[in-house]
């Protein structure tokens, strides 16, 4: 047999899939502060559009997404707390059960390489399936949700505007939510003004920034994102039990690489003064506790980051109480008050 030209063309067509289409240009509509980057990253299949973002915002605040129509994304991700919730572990889900990890703030998500504390979610689109289907979060049946949206007074219209080709589908729903969340950009703190305009930080805050770099914080919490978006072990634990499907393995739960045991995503420190409690299990209530952890309580393990080793091999970052307090003063200068009050991020119902 020989393949007909058709058959071959089809194979060639599949190979041509590999080179990427030209990236969409959302830049003009959704500008990025220059100290964060030049473009707002988004996958080619889901470029940002005004209608898509608007739909995503409506969905983010709408409890229709949950099985009992009472829980929205904003039940756990509250704008006034930089989209965190202030709790150690949330009980705001449909079941009321305690979640196993702390709710992170949602800041500059577009740049992240993996979502969740362990990066288990590949992209923002895929991430949405997590809360949507989890029994202790929104516990939603996806085909029921599609039906509810189809019967809704304004969603059919909004979906068609945002996705003219096929309107209401679950992939479009997760794409709209991803689009909205990519617009949650925070870079208007006193620090940012300082970087962009040359002034904005007090001399005390500048001393703190200096220490932030000297004491190695900046090696992982790299300015101006205040994270390098990698996964690291900052010495919280020395044992990593396997229960709850290896939850305590952190990044290794996803990569299955023992070298990743106990590693978690380096979180951004933007707005950190208002996103307490801290770490993936929210074990620290205050920034003072966090800093004292780095000074005195780093736990030894095979995977603890080498940044924390002193010359003699022991663990810890040495600083005086005064230096610690100066670093905290600097961290507070990373607060971007406009992020918490920006009406473009707020509940659209609340505005009407």
**Chain residues in the site for ligand HEC (CB under 6 A):** 65, 71, 73, 75-77, 90, 92-93, 99, 101, 103-104, 106, 109, 115-117, 124, 127-128, 131-132, 137-138, 177, 181, 215-217, 219-221, 232, 234, 236, 264, 266-267, 269, 272, 275, 278-280, 287, 290-291, 294, 305, 307, 317, 327
User: How many C-beta neighbours within 10 Å does residue 7 have?
Assistant: 11
Least spacing, CB of residue 113 vs another protein, in Å: 12
Least spacing, CB of residue 150 vs another protein, in Å: 15
Q: 301, 262 in Cβ contact below 8 A? A: yes
Least spacing, CB of residue 275 vs ligand HEC, in Å: 5
Pick from ligand HEC, another protein, none: which does 152 bind, CB < 5 to 8 A by kind? Answer: none
Closest CB to ligand HEC among 49 and 179? Answer: 179
Triad 83, 85, 90: Cα angle to 5°: 130
Pick from another protein, ligand HEC, none: which does 304 bind, CB < 5 to 8 A by kind? Answer: none
Pick from another protein, ligand HEC, none: which does 192 bind, CB < 5 to 8 A by kind? Answer: none
Place of tokens 């899939």: 17
* Residue environment code for 96-126, b if the CB has 16+ CB neighbours within 10 A, otherwise e: eeebebbbbbbbbbbbbebbbbbbbbebbbe
Q: Give, in order, the Cα–Cα distances in Å from 183 to each of 68, 103, 248, 315, 346.
A: 28, 19, 31, 39, 12
Pick from another protein, ligand HEC, none: which does 215 bind, CB < 5 to 8 A by kind? Answer: ligand HEC
**Please, is 156 exposed, middle or buried when counting C-beta atoms within 10 Å of its C-beta (0-12, 13-18, 19+)?**
middle
Least spacing, CB of residue 302 vs another protein, in Å: 18
Q: In the complex, which residues of this chain contact another protein (CB under 8 A)?
A: 1-7, 9-14, 16-17, 19, 21-22, 43, 45-46, 116, 120-123, 125-127, 129-130, 132-134, 142-143, 170-171, 174-175, 245, 253-254, 256
Contacts with 296 (C-beta within 8 Å, 6 or more apart), sequence order: 316
Categorise residue 134: left if φ over 0, alpha if ψ from -120 to 50, beta otherwise: beta
């Amino acid at each position: 047999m020989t393949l007909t030209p058709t058959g071959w063309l089809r194979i060639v067509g599949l190979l041509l899939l590999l080179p990427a289409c030209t990236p969409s240009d959302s830049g003009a509509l959704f500008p990025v502060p220059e100290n964060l980057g030049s473009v707002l990253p988004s996958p080619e299949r889901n470029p940002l559009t005004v209608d898509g973002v608007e739909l995503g915002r409506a969905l983010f605040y709408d409890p229709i997404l949950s099985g009992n129509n009472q829980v929205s994304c904003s039940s756990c991700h509250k704008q006034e707390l930089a989209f965190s919730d202030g709790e150690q572990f949330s009980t705001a889900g449909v079941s009321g059960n305690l979640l196993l990890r702390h709710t992170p703030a949602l800041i500059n998500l577009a740049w992240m390489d993996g979502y969740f504390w362990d990066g288990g979610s590949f992209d923002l689109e895929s991430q949405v399936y997590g809360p949507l289907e989890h029994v202790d979060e929104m516990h939603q049946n996806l085909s029921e949700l599609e039906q509810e949206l189809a019967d809704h007074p304004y969603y059919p219209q909004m979906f068609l505007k945002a996705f003219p080709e096929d309107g209401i589908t679950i992939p479009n729903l997760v794409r709209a939510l991803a689009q909205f969340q990519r617009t949650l950009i925070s870079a208007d703190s006193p620090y940012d003004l300082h970087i962009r305009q040359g002034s904005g930080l007090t001399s005390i805050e500048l001393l703190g920034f200096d220490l932030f770099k000297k004491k190695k914080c900046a090696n992982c919490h790299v300015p101006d994102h205040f994270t390098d978006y990698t996964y690291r072990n900052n010495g919280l634990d020395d044992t990593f039990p396997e229960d709850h499907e290896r939850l305590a393995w952190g990044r290794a739960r996803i990569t299955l690489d023992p070298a990743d045991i106990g590693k978690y995503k380096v979180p951004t420190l933007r707005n950190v003064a208002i996103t307490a409690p801290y770490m993936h299990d929210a074990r620290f209530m205050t920034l003072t506790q966090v800093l004292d952890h780095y000074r005195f309580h780093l736990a030894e393990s095979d995977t603890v980051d080498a940044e924390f080793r002193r010359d003699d091999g022991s663990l810890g970052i040495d600083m005086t109480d005064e230096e610690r307090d100066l670093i905290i003063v600097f961290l507070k200068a990373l607060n971007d008050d406009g992020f918490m009050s920006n009406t473009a991020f707020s509940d659209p119902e609340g505005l009407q």
